[in-house]
Structure 1
Amino acid sequence: MPKAASRLPQTPVAFVLAIVQAYERRGMDPGAALRKAGLAPERVLDPGERVAIAPFEAFTADAMSELDDEALGWFSRRLPWGSYGMLLRASLTAPGLELAVRRWCRHHGLLTEDVRIELRLEEEVGVIRIREFVDLGVLREFCLVSLLRNVHGIACWLADSRIAPIVARFPFPAPAHAEAYGRMFGGEIAFDAPETELRFDASYLRLPVVRDDAALSGLLRNPIPLMARRYRQDRLLSQRINGFIVARTDPLANAEEVAGHLGISLRSLQRHLRDEGTSFLDLQSEARRLRAEELLRRGDLPLKRVARLAGYSDESSFGRAFRRWTGQSPGEFRRNASARADSPPPGGTGEAGGGTAALR
C-alpha cells in the first residue's frame, strides 16, 4: 500500500469479509458491489490487510441496499432499509440525550430479539451494554462492534458532541486486528469481557438534543460514516481538560500529558480546543486562577506557598498574573474573602435564629 494512503482512515479487511459472508448466506454474489467500491474481490481475501474507510463505506451502503438489510446478516430476520432511520426519528423529540438514547435502545428491541441494547447509570458513569440472546455465529464480532459504533455515533450526532469513551469491552478474544479498536473507539480497549459495553462520563447524558428533522434528512442521505468514523467535536472536552489540570497542579499538567490521559493525539487536542474557541494555555491559566483563589480563601498559607502551588516559580510573577485575573492583589483578595466570610447574611443579626426572628 502506498505510504500516502496509509495515513488515511482505514478499517480491517476482516469487516469487509464479514459483509461478503452476509452475501454468501443469502446466496448472492458480492463481486459487483466490491468492484464498484474499488475493492477487487481477489484483493480483499487477506484478513490481515486494511482498506481505506471510503471504499468500505461505499461497499457497506451498497450491501445494505442489495441485501435490503441494514443489519447485514447479523440477526435471524432482516432489518429492511430505513429501520435505523425510523429509530433515530423516534428519538429526535427527546429534550435530553439520556432519554433519547434510552428511547433508541428500547425501540431497537422491537426490531430484533436476538440482542438487547440498554443504557445504565453507575454513579457518574454511563454504560451502554449489549446482551446476546442467540448465537450470532461467524458474524458475532462484526455485529457487536457495529452495534456499539452505531449507538455511540447516534448519541454523538444527537448532541453534536464526541462522547469520549472511558473503556470499550468485548466478549471475545483479541482479534488479529485488535489495534484497529483503539482507532475506532478511543479510550481503553478490553477483550474477553463478560458482555459488550461502552463506558463514558455520564455528564454527556445531560447534553440537550440539538438535531431536528432537517438535520436528520441530511444524515439519512449518507448515514454510514456515522457508524464507521469517530465523531469530530467534543463539546465537553474543555471541561474535562480543565478538571484534569485542576487536579494536577503540582506539578502542573502539560498538553502532552492531558492528551495521553484523554486517549487522543496532541494535534487532536489542539484542534478540538480551537473549535471550542479556547486554547490549552487559556485552560491552564483558568485552572491556576481557580486553584489560587481556593488556597487564598483558606487563609493559612504564606503567599509564596500559594504561588508555588498555583504553578508559579516566584511570588512576584504570581502577583502580576493574579491581578490580571481579578483586578486585585493576592493579599487584597484574601482580606476581602475573609471579610465576606465574617459578615452575617443580609438582614440577619449574625446569631443563630436571627433570620427567623426578623420574619416574625
Structure 2
Amino acid sequence: MKFETQTISVRFVQALLSNVVTRTDYDPSWLSNTGFAPELLNLQGARITMEKFAELYRTLAIHTDDETLGMFSLPLRNGTLKYLCLCMLSAPVLSVALNRFCNFYRLINVDVQFEVSHTPEGLVRIALHEVGHLGSSRVLALELMLMLVQGVSSWMIAKKIPFVRICFPFPKPEHAAEYKHLYPGPVYFNEPTTALYMDPAYMNEPIRQDQNSLRKFLRNAPMNWFYFLETERPNTYRVRSYLTERMGQPLGLEQVASALHVSTRTLARRLADEGSSFQRIKDTLRRDLAVELLNKTRIPVADIAHKLGFEDATAFNRAFRQWTGSAPGAYRKRLQ
C-alpha cells in the first residue's frame, strides 16, 4: 500500500484553515477546486488521504503566498523552502547542512529559532525555541516545524532518520494517535522544549541530493515531511503490506502468521511490542482504503464492502460509521 493512501484526521485541515479563512481575500474555491468537500470539516471523525492533505497545503500556500499559512508574525513567501534547500545542498555533510538550516531560519523567522547541540548522553538535539507568541496556531506550528526539519534532514541524506526521541512542550492532544504517521520515533509531551534527538552518526552522512531531485521534493511537499517508518515497526508494516493485496480474503492472525513464517503467538507478541495488534492493523487498513475508494472512485458501496472483505454492505456501513461517524454513502455525498 502506498503511503499516500494512508489517511489523516480532517482536524489537520481545520487547523490549516484557521488563519486562512480570516483573510479578506479568502475564497472557498481554494478548497473546492482541489476536490475537497468543505462539508467534511464539520463531520466528526472525517479523514482524508495524506496525498489530498499535501495537495491542500500546497494550494493554500500558493493562494496566500505564505508557506506557513499565517502561523507566524511574518509570512514565509512562496519559494522559501526552495531557497532553504538550495542553501543546504552544497554542504558536504548533514551537520553543515543543519547549521545552514538554523542560520536560514534565524534570518527569516522572528517567532521560532532552531538550535543544534549535543546532549550529555551523546545524542544530537535539534531544538525549536519559541521566541515570539504563536497564539492559537501554536500546536500546529510546532508540529509542522518538526515535520519540516525531519523531512528535509532525511531527504538530504536519502535516508529515513529514526529519531530516538521527539518532544513537545504541550499536553498530549486528542489527535496524538496520528503522530505515528508523522514522526519517525517515540513522542513525548509536556517536555521543556520542542526537539528531535538522534544518533550523532547521521551528522556525518554526506548530502546525496541535487537540484534535479529538489524539483520533485518541492513538487510533492509536504509529503516528504512525514512518513511511516518501516524500520521502527517492521512487523506492523509487514502485516499491513501482506493484507493490502488480500483484503477480499477472510484472513485471520493464524493465516497471516503462517504466511510470514512465524507462530501465531510470536506475531501477536511482536505486534503488541510495537503498540499494535492484528485487528487494529486490519481495521485501520480497511478504513484508509475505504476513504480512498469513496474519494477517488464511483465503485458502489456494496462492491467496496466486498473488496475490503466484509460479509455484506450492512457490516461495512456499521464499521465505517464507527470509524468516521458517518455512513459511507453519506460520506461520499459530501465529497461530491
Which TM-score tier does this pair reach, normalised by the shorter chain?
Answer: 0.5 to 0.7
- Give the match for residue 225 of structure 2: 227
Is residue 2:123 matched to residue 1:148?
no
Between the aligned partners of 1:161 and 1:6, the Cα distance in structure 2 is: 16
Cα deviation 1:66-108 (Å, max 9, x = unaligned): 0000011111111110011101100111111111112112111
Between the aligned partners of 1:117 and 1:264, the Cα distance in structure 2 is: 33
Q: Residues 170 and 191 of structure 1 are in contact (CA less than 8 Å); yes or no, is this contact kept in structure 2? A: yes
- Give the match for residue 88 of structure 2: 91
Runs of 4+ with >6 A deviation: 4-7, 231-234, 254-266
Between the aligned partners of 2:275 and 2:100, the Cα distance in structure 1 is: 29
Residue of structure 1 aligned with 2:164, choices 163, 166, 173: 166
Residue of structure 2 aligned with 1:8, choices 5, 12, 23: 5
Is residue 2:57 matched to residue 1:60?
yes
- Give the match for residue 125 of structure 1: 123
Cα deviation 1:279-308 (Å, max 9, x = unaligned): xxxxxxxxxxxxxxxxxxxxxxxxxxxxxx
Q: How many pairs were matched up?
A: 245
Instruction: Map residues 1-360 of structure 1 onto 2, 5 A cutoff.
Output: 8-29=5-26, 31-46=28-43, 48-122=45-119, 123-230=121-228
Between the aligned partners of 1:81 and 1:232, the Cα distance in structure 2 is: 32
User: Unpaired runs of 5+ in structure 1?
Assistant: 238-253, 267-360
Q: Residues 12 and 180 of structure 1 are in contact (CA less than 8 Å); yes or no, is this contact kept in structure 2? A: yes
Identity %: 28
Between the aligned partners of 1:55 and 1:217, the Cα distance in structure 2 is: 20
Aligned-residue offset at 1:194:
1.4
Question: Match of 2:115, SS?
Answer: strand
Q: Residues 181 and 227 of structure 2 are in contact (CA less than 8 Å); yes or no, is this contact kept in structure 1? A: no
- Give the match for residue 279 of structure 1: none
Between the aligned partners of 2:5 and 2:225, the Cα distance in structure 1 is: 17
Question: Match of 1:185, SS?
Answer: coil
Aligned-residue offset at 1:48:
4.2
Between the aligned partners of 2:40 and 2:154, the Cα distance in structure 1 is: 34
Per the normalisation by structure 1, the TM-score is: 0.61
Between the aligned partners of 1:159 and 1:265, the Cα distance in structure 2 is: 33
One-letter code aligned to 1:186 = P
Aligned-residue offset at 1:167:
1.6
Q: Residues 76 and 114 of structure 1 are in contact (CA less than 8 Å); yes or no, is this contact kept in structure 2? A: yes
Aligned-residue offset at 1:147:
0.5
Aligned-residue offset at 1:46:
4.0
The structure showing larger relative contact order (alpha-carbon pairs under 8 Å, at least 6 residues apart) is 2
Between the aligned partners of 2:195 and 2:226, the Cα distance in structure 1 is: 18
Q: Residues 168 and 193 of structure 2 are in contact (CA less than 8 Å); yes or no, is this contact kept in structure 1? A: yes
Inter-CA distance 7–58: structure 2 relative to 1 (3 Å threshold): closer
Q: Residues 96 and 208 of structure 1 are in contact (CA less than 8 Å); yes or no, is this contact kept in structure 2? A: yes
Let me know the Cα RMSD of the aligned residues: 3.1
Between the aligned partners of 2:216 and 2:3, the Cα distance in structure 1 is: 30
User: Unpaired runs of 5+ in structure 2?
Assistant: 235-265, 279-336
**Structure 1, 149-158 or 13-22: larger mean CA deviation:** 13-22
Aligned-residue offset at 1:224:
2.0
Q: Residues 162 and 233 of structure 1 are in contact (CA less than 8 Å); yes or no, is this contact kept in structure 2? A: no
Inter-CA distance 49–173: structure 2 relative to 1 (3 Å threshold): farther
Per the normalisation by structure 2, the TM-score is: 0.65
Question: Match of 1:171, SS?
Answer: coil
Between the aligned partners of 1:152 and 1:182, the Cα distance in structure 2 is: 14
Q: Residues 165 and 201 of structure 1 are in contact (CA less than 8 Å); yes or no, is this contact kept in structure 2? A: yes
